[in-house]
Each structure stands twice: as structure tokens, then as C-alpha cells.
């Protein structure tokens, strides 16, 4: 598309828009004068009970929780006293020779026993696989 250069030169380069004098100095005042008057909001008084109610409910919850825990632990404490006293009488009835094992084992026998248990349960394979995984990392 061709434009005629003569037409572009003939266009006036002055700003066609004009702002009245002191327009921005009076701008805020004029806007505020045009707005309708607002009524001040009426503050509502909150009764004391509405302010205290959440705290009272929380205190009641903690008191209920306290008594529930006391009730549950008291029953268990009573059961443990009964169980402890019955166990004590059972222990006193069993002769010491039958209650405690008199088997004596050397340290070497103990390690051999542990080794046999590890072999039976397959822990050697498990440990070997874990060791290989750690070495590959």
C-alpha cells in the first residue's frame, strides 16, 4: 500500500486535546462533592456471653478429657494391682528350682545356637543380598 508523503507532512503535529486550567488541583474536591453522603455504620455491642462462650466450651472439653483419662487410667491401675498381686502369689507357689532354668551354656555354645537360628531362618541370604546392594551403590 502506497501512502502519499505530501499528505503526512500536512498533518498538524500539535496536541488536539486541552485540559482546563487547575483541573488536577481541584480534581479530588470535585469528585468528593459529587459522591453521596454515607451514613456512619452503627457499631453493634457484643454481649459478654458471646465473647466468653468459646473459652467456656474449650474449658469444658479439657475438663471432660481430664476425667475420661482419669477414669481409664484408674481402671487399668486397679487391674494391674490385681494382676500384680495374683502374679506374686503364683511366683511364690512355684519352687525356685523349677522356675529358673539351671541350664548353663558357654559363650561358644550360645554363638553356635544363634548361628543355627540365622541359617534356619534364611537371614544369611538376606544379609548377603543387602551387602551386595550396598556395595553396588
Cα–Cα distances in angstroms (integers) from residue 133 to residues 108, 124, 126, 127, 129, in the given order: 31, 14, 11, 10, 6
pLDDT < 70 positions in the chain: 1-6, 8, 75-102, 137
Neighbours of 118 (CB within 10 A): 14
43: DSSP letter: P
At 59 the pLDDT is 97
Q: Read off the C-alpha cell for 99.
A: 522356675
Which SS3 state, helix, strand or coil, does residue 91 take? Answer: helix
- Does the reported pTM lie above 0.75? no
At 57 the pLDDT is 97
Amino acid at each position: 500500500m502506497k501512502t502519499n508523503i505530501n499528505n503526512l507532512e500536512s498533518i498538524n503535529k500539535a496536541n488536539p486535546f486541552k485540559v482546563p486550567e487547575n483541573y488536577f488541583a481541584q480534581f479530588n474536591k470535585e469528585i468528593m462533592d459529587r459522591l453521596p453522603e454515607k451514613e456512619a455504620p452503627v457499631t453493634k455491642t457484643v454481649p459478654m456471653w458471646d465473647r466468653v462462650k468459646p473459652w467456656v466450651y474449650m474449658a469444658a472439653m479439657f475438663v471432660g478429657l481430664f476425667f475420661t483419662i482419669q477414669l481409664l487410667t484408674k481402671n487399668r491401675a486397679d487391674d494391674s494391682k490385681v494382676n500384680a498381686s495374683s502374679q506374686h502369689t503364683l511366683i511364690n507357689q512355684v519352687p525356685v528350682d523349677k522356675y529358673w532354668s539351671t541350664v548353663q551354656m558357654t559363650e561358644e555354645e550360645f554363638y553356635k545356637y544363634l548361628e543355627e537360628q540365622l541359617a534356619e531362618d534364611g537371614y544369611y541370604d538376606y544379609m548377603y543380598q543387602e551387602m551386595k546392594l550396598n556395595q553396588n551403590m
